[in-house]
Chains A and B, each alone.
Chain A
Amino acid sequence: MDDIYLITILSNIGMISFIALSAYLLLVVGEISFGQQAFFAVSAYGSGIATAMWGWPIWLGLLWGALVAGAAALVVAIPTVRLRGLYFSVATLAFAEMVRLIFEIFTYQVEIDGELVGPDGSDGFRDIRAIYDSNVSAFEYMLIIYGLLAVVLIGFLILERSRLGAIFRMIGEDPMLTEMQGLNVTKYKILAVVMAGIVAGIGGALYAHLATYVEPKIFNVMLGVHALAYGLIGGLGTAFGPLIGVAIDIGLLESIRAISGYRMIVFGGLVAVLLIVRPRGLLDEAAMHWLRGRWRGLIRAEN
């Protein structure tokens, strides 16, 4: 196993972790979205357009991509968050497919140095070369990915200890009872969808610049289904849950060559077994409560 192979796998784990966290946030508020790949896609295109066509610096392109994804999420959230359960899932799926089909016909190209650059419908969007043009190595880019992932993860951990995080969990448990506490559930759900859109967007922007080429079919429903499954495998008790899910899928299943051909079968089986044995994942709320108790006990013993 050479270094580049390892760096590629780690980079993939990092990028997919964003969309896994995105789907996880919505699972926490009790909504199953099959459409987080749409925000990943919107940001991949948006940030690519910003850097490759408008000549923006990478950091601004990433920020732009995430913001466009957040704006798209707001547009989706307003009509859909009042939907419950299956209806919300179907609406997000429909939206994501709509986005993918729009990118299949979306053409917007400009001539740069005698070459046409920009999205060209189903032929995709080539030459998003910003990181290569600025001589960022694969290793350095991996550090950028993990730096941003660390920032987002710390944000999630702070959120989970905050009042907003508790409100999200309340909504996930019982939206009606939450509303009875004087909380505007619709408003908080819109906030959650927008936050999830931004998080998925960061991943999409990072992806577009590492791959240098994006095409609509990458952002199909399987990406969204995986994103959901990561939280369900790893656990809904902590933001580390979806990361464990990603690590299991990409780190183990995709990387162990012996099972590479059967990855989807093994992965599907794993999801099915876990949903029966541990419906809220490995690190579910009860497990996290137990772990926190042990941790407090350890600290007390130290002192």
Chain B
Amino acid sequence: MLEIRDLHLSYGKVRAVQGVSLEVAEGEIVALIGANGAGKSSTMHAVCGIERPSGGHIRFLGQAITRMPPHRIMRRGIVQVPEGRLIFGGLTVAQNLRLGAHNVAGRAKTEADIERVLESFPMLRDRLDEPGAALSGGQAQMLALARGLMARPKLLILDEPSLGLAPIAALDVFALIPRLRDAGVTILLVEQNVRQALAIADRGYVLESGRIILDGNAAELAEHELLVSAYLGLTRGE
């Protein structure tokens, strides 16, 4: 479905991504993991068209999308729920949802989509008229996810969905992701929370200093000694 070949991306002299190749097949949850500054977000930004790669190719559903503007990539079905900058605080919850669906034709359809999405996010139903800024961190993340779904994505990219959330709210997010996949959305999950990401993913890629250093089946990756020592060491045996 998504195919990245030999992607390079630089910020001035800083080479953030150096030859990343990865694939996501339809119906998968693929985790892209790595430490802060490993190049995860840069890779995702290139996929979404926010950053222009200096080299390499990105294909989606067999068609080249490299260097397309973000709004056109989004219309092809790649929706990103970005890290940190989640929702529009000045807009109401309902407006946030409606505008996520802006390219899905027809008002009646949009209202039906809101109903459908709210079934997965019942906590948002009572707060539709409230400004986004009034939501807690966990609720804002849920709204960002719900808004992403409003656009009927084929591929949903989740950039650090658990970042900054209370542990319970993070658990809610991780519990939701497999349900989204079961509903037919392919998911590329970018996470620092390695253990939880690999627990729900089918496959994973490990990024370090702009390069993929490991990839494979998620369950096997979780046991890999390099990962265990580098990322899971501190929490082992908990």
A residues contacting B by CB (< 8 A) are: 163, 166-167, 169-170, 172-174, 176-177, 179-185, 285-286, 289
8 Å CB contacts to A: which residues of B76-127?
Answer: 79-80, 82, 85, 88-91, 95, 98-100, 102-103
Instruction: Give the docked Cα–Cα distance between A167 and B133 (Å).
Output: 17
A177 adjacent to B102 (CB under 8 Å): no
Q: Which of B82, B85, B99 has the most CB of A within 10 A?
A: B99
Residues of B within 8 A of A180 (CB): 48, 50, 70, 74, 79-80, 82
Residues of B within 8 A of A177 (CB): 82, 85, 88
Closest to A169 in B: B90
Chain B interface SS verdict (over half): mixed
Any chain A CB within 8 A of the CB of B69?
yes
Closest beta carbon of chain B to A191's beta carbon, Å = 15
Closest beta carbon of chain A to B88's beta carbon, Å = 5
Given contacts A163-B98, A180-B82, contact A173 B89 (CB under 8 A): yes
Chain B 124-153 interface mask (CB, 8 Å, partner A; 1/0): 000000010100000000000001000100
A174 adjacent to B99 (CB under 8 Å): no
Given contacts A163-B99, A166-B99, A183-B102, contact A174 B88 (CB under 8 A): yes
A179 adjacent to B99 (CB under 8 Å): no
Any chain A CB within 8 A of the CB of B75?
yes
Residues of A within 8 A of B224 (CB): none
Known A-B contacts: A172-B90, A182-B71, A182-B151. Give 12 more (CB < 8 A).
A167-B102, A169-B91, A179-B69, A180-B79, A180-B80, A180-B82, A181-B151, A182-B74, A182-B75, A184-B71, A286-B131, A286-B133
Query: Closest 10 interchain pairs by CB?
Result: A182-B74, A179-B70, A182-B103, A285-B90, A182-B71, A184-B71, A166-B95, A170-B88, A182-B75, A173-B88
Instruction: Give the docked Cα–Cα distance between A180 and B86 (Å).
Output: 11
Closest to B92 in A: A289
Please, could you name 22 A-B residue pairs with CB atoms under 8 Å apart, sorted by A? A166-B95, A167-B102, A170-B88, A170-B91, A172-B90, A173-B88, A173-B89, A173-B90, A173-B91, A176-B70, A176-B82, A177-B85, A177-B88, A179-B69, A179-B71, A180-B50, A180-B80, A181-B74, A181-B99, A184-B69, A184-B71, A285-B90
8 Å CB contacts to A: which residues of B176-231?
Answer: none
Closest beta carbon of chain A to B90's beta carbon, Å = 5
Residues of B within 8 A of A170 (CB): 88, 91, 99
Given contacts A169-B90, A180-B80, contact A174 B85 (CB under 8 A): yes
Closest to A174 in B: B85
Instruction: Give the docked Cα–Cα distance between A174 and B50 (Å).
Output: 13
Residues of A within 8 A of B90 (CB): 169, 172-173, 285
Closest beta carbon of chain B to A148's beta carbon, Å = 29
Closest to B81 in A: A180
Closest beta carbon of chain A to B108's beta carbon, Å = 15
Closest beta carbon of chain A to B135's beta carbon, Å = 13
Residues of B within 8 A of A167 (CB): 99, 102
Instruction: Give the docked Cα–Cα distance between A174 and B91 (Å).
Output: 12
Residues of A within 8 A of B80 (CB): 180
Q: Which of B88, B95, B102, B147 has the most CB of A within 10 A?
A: B88
Residues of B within 8 A of A182 (CB): 71, 74-75, 102-103, 151
Residues of A within 8 A of B48 (CB): 180
Residues of B within 8 A of A183 (CB): 71, 99, 102
B91 adjacent to A166 (CB under 8 Å): yes
Closest beta carbon of chain B to A179's beta carbon, Å = 4
Closest beta carbon of chain A to B106's beta carbon, Å = 13
Closest beta carbon of chain B to A82's beta carbon, Å = 12
Instruction: Give the docked Cα–Cα distance between A172 and B80 (Å).
Output: 20
Instruction: Give the docked Cα–Cα distance between A285 and B131 (Å).
Output: 9
Residues of A within 8 A of B82 (CB): 176-177, 180
Residues of A within 8 A of B75 (CB): 182
Closest beta carbon of chain B to A157's beta carbon, Å = 16
A163 adjacent to B50 (CB under 8 Å): no
Instruction: Give the docked Cα–Cα distance between A181 and B100 (Å).
Output: 6
Closest beta carbon of chain A to B14's beta carbon, Å = 20
Instruction: Give the docked Cα–Cα distance between A181 and B91 (Å).
Output: 14
